Structure 1
C-alpha cells in the first residue's frame, strides 16, 4: 500500500518546502475522534491513508514522546496532545473551548447543561446548551446568578480557602428567592462544605420553584477550582436521588475531560475571554 494521505496537498508550495512526514503525522493524529479514541495500527493506517508500517512508526514515535500510549494492541492519545493547541486557545473564549464537552454532556443526559465561573458573588455563565426551557429567565452567555443559591455557585465557593468562605457568605446579598432558599450564612457554609467533601452540589428549588440542578467542579493543574459544570432539570419529574444518580456520572466524566484540557493550558486559562451578558 502506498502512502497517499497527503497527495496533492503540496500543490501550492514548492517541493522542497513541503514536509511530508509532518503532514503524515498530522493525518495520523486526526484519525482519532471522540467516538473512536482507541485504534489499532491497521485502523489508523486505513483512516489516515498511509501504509501499516508508516502508521506504526508514527504511533510509536507519538508513544515515545508521550502523546500516545498503547496497551500492546490499541493506541490512544494522551492529554499531552491538548497542549499543542495552547497557542490557539490563548486569548480565545470559554465558550469556544467548552462547547464540545457541554454539547456531549447535554446529549448524554438529555438535559440543559452549563458551565460557569465565579464572578464576585455571582456565577457567570460561560457556556450553555439548552434543551428545553424550565426557567422563567432566559440564560445566555454572560448571565449572572447569585452563587449562594445555585449548584455551580456552591461548588465554586467550595474552592475558596481558609476563612474566605465565611467572609464571602456574610457580606453577600442573600435574598429569599423561594420558600426553599437557604439564606443563613452558617447553614450555607455547611452546604458548601458538604459539596466540597462530596465533590458535587445539589440545589433543589432554591433558585426557582420547579428547578433542580446538580453541579461538579473543574480544577486547574494547581488544584484551583476554576470552573463548574451543571445539569438542570424539572424538579417534579423524578425523586431527588434519582436525578442525582442519573446525571452525576456523566457530569464527573465530563469534568475529568475538561480538567485535562484546562491542565494543558496551564496559566493560559486565566487569559480566556469572558462573555458579556446577552
Structure 2
C-alpha cells in the first residue's frame, strides 16, 4: 500500500521532534519519549531505528543519546542572519510605538555589544555609526540589565572581571535598584550626554540578550521615557524571548516576570 504524502510528512516531523527531545534532555529512555512526545511506542521505536541508521542517535543501555552527527544539522546555521531577520519586525514595531532607537545587545567577554538595531530606520540620529559598538557592563543600561537578571554565579564571575574590588558594593547596590526599578539605567556621568534604559530578554533563567532604548534627556527626561516606553519595550523583549525559546526549545520569560525588582567604538555606553 502506498504511503500517503501527509503520513510521510508527519513521520518526518515526529522524527525531528524525537531528535530534539533526545538532544534537549541529554538522553532519554523509550518510555520517557513516549510519555513526553505522545507518539505511540511502536512508532517511537521505528523512528529511533531510522535515526540510528542515519547516524543521529545511538543506544547506551536503556537510554538513547544523540551522536556527533547532529552537529552537521546546524553547521550551516548563521546566528547573525537569524537574529537580524527575527529582530527586524520587532524593532520596527517598537520604533513606531516609542519614536526612539533601540538595540539588541549581547554579551561579549566583559562587555555588551550591539548585534541588531533599528537606528537606520529612526529619524533621530544618535550615534549613527553603531556597527560593533560596545558598552561596559557596570555603567551602561544594557550591561546593568544583563547583570541584574543573569544567574548569580554568572553575575559574580562577570563582576570580578569588569569591576574593581573597591567598587563592587556600589555596583551591587545599583543592580538591586535595577531589579526594583524594573530596567537598567545608563550612568548619567557617561559621555556623550545621551540616555538609555534597557530590559533583559530572558531564556529560562538566563539572559539571552538585552533590549535597550536610547534617547536624548534634554528632549525627553528619563522619568517620562520610562512611563511612556517601558511597556512597549517589555512587549518587544517578550517577542524576542519567544523567538529565542523557539530556537533553543526553552520556555520564554517576560522581563516583568524576572526577579523583581549609545555604545561607541571608544567604549561610549548605552
Please classify the TM superposition score into its range, dividing by the shorter chain length: 0.5 to 0.7
Residues of 2 paired with 1:242 and 1:128: CA distance?
Answer: 22
Name the residue aligned to 2:199.
216
Map of 1:139-150 to 2, 5 A cutoff?
139-140=130-131, 142-150=132-140
SS of 1:251's partner is helix
- Distance in 2 separating the partners of 1:261 and 1:96: 11
Aligned residue for 2:106? Answer: 117
| Mapped partners of 2:186, 2:207: distance in 1 | 19
**Is the Cα contact below 8 Å between 1:169 and 1:189 reproduced in 2?**
no
1:158 corresponds in structure 2 to: 148
Quote how far apart the aligned CAs of 1:202 are. 1.6
Specify the SS of the correspondent of 1:148.
Answer: coil
| Aligned pair partner of 2:212 in 225, 230, 234 | 230
Instruction: Report how far residue 161 of structure 1 moved.
Output: 2.9
Question: C-alpha separation between the residues in 2 aligned to 1:165 and 1:18?
Answer: 51
Partner residue of 2:87? 98
Give unpaired runs (5+ residues) of structure 2: 10-73, 251-264, 266-270
Aligned to 1:133: 125
Residue 171 (1) aligns with residue 158 (2): no
1:94-129 Cα distance to aligned partner (Å, 9 max, x none) = 222211111111121111111111111111111011
SS at match of 2:150: coil
Give per-residue Cα distances to partners, 1:29-77, cap 9 Å, x unaligned. Answer: xxxxxxxxxxxxxxxxxxxxxxxxxxxxxxxxxxxxxxxxxxxxxxxxx
Equivalent residue number for residue 266 of structure 1: 248
Q: Following TM superposition, by how much is the alpha carbon of 1:233 offset from its aligned partner in structure 2, in angstroms?
A: 0.4
What is aligned with 2:42? none
RMSD: 3.2
Aligned to 1:51: none
TM normalised by structure 2 equals 0.57
**Aligned runs of 1:49-128 on 2, under 5 Å?**
90-93=77-80, 94-128=83-117
Runs of at least 4 residues off by over 6 Å: none
Could you tell me which runs of 5 or more consecutive residues in structure 1 were left unpaired when the two chains were aligned: 1-16, 23-86, 175-182, 269-276
Structure with the bigger percentage of helix: 2
1:166/1:185 contact within 8 Å kept: no
Q: May I ask how many residue pairs the two structures share in their alignment?
A: 178
- Preserved CA contact (<8 Å) 1:204 1:235: no
Aligned position for 1:186: 169
